């Protein structure tokens, strides 16, 4: 089912990035200035990747040799004691954004190349500025680059996706870490209580 649940009734938790509503997501896409910036944002809300992971994606992780969008995004994450491998299916709306981006940009080693960066790819600070500008233009308080990841994972949780599946996508080291990350909607608590039929 291809939908994002409305999360507008969330109470903001101090120190945690805002969970974006469906309208806010649409508004952000509208104010982002080009297909690159839209692809950057789409990767965040449709994969749950951290911004530092998104900017380091290679072209061949996302596109085939013929330029088609892959069905799975394979991500390798180095953890303290081991390496975690995640395979994240590509959402149809993300596929559309990536396809549009690909049509308008030349192939490079990096998905988001940069001529002025020592790494050759878009730097985290620049990606932060791009998204911060969109959030500021829409006056979204408490929104940050981390809002994309938190929105993605919280929506999966609210849709009833098992936590172990979400953990496999998110790369969290433990379920307890993941659970601390997810936002709780007060409306969910009402629905939970109302499920009691005795």
pLDDT < 70 positions in the chain? 1-15, 79-81, 184-185, 188-190
Position 190 scores a pLDDT of: 66
Q: Domain 22-194's class?
A: mainly alpha
Position 21 scores a pLDDT of: 95
Position 98 scores a pLDDT of: 97
Domain ranges of the chain: 22-194
Q: Whole-angstrom Cα distance, residue 106 to residue 180? A: 40
Give the residue carrying structure tokens 């998110």: 170
* Full DSSP string of 57-76: -BHHHHB-TTSPBPSEEEEE
Position 11 scores a pLDDT of: 39
Q: Residues 6 or more apart from 112 whose CB is under 8 A from it?
A: 36, 39, 40, 54, 55, 57, 121, 122, 127
Give the residue carrying structure tokens 């659970």: 179
pLDDT in tens, 23-33: 999 999 999 98
């Amino acid at each position: 089912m291809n939908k994002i649940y409305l999360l507008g009734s969330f109470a903001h938790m101090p120190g945690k990035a805002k969970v974006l509503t469906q309208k806010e997501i649409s508004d952000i896409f509208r104010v982002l200035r080009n297909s690159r910036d839209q692809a950057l944002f789409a990767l965040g809300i449709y994969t749950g990747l951290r911004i530092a992971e998104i900017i380091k994606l290679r072209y061949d992780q996302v596109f085939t040799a013929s330029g088609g969008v892959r069905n799975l995004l394979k991500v390798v994450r180095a953890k303290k004691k081991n390496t975690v491998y995640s395979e994240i299916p590509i959402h149809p709306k993300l596929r559309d954004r990536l396809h549009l981006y690909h049509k308008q940009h030349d192939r490079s080693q990096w998905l988001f190349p940069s001529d002025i960066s020592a790494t050759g790819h878009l730097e985290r600070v620049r990606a932060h500025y791009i998204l911060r500008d969109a959030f500021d233009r829409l006056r979204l308080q408490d929104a940050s680059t981390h809002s994309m990841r938190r929105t993605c994972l919280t929506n999966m949780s609210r849709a009833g996706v098992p936590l172990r599946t979400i953990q496999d996508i998110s790369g969290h080291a433990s379920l307890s870490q993941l659970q601390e990350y997810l936002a709780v909607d007060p409306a969910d608590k009402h629905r939970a209580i109302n499920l009691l039929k005795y």
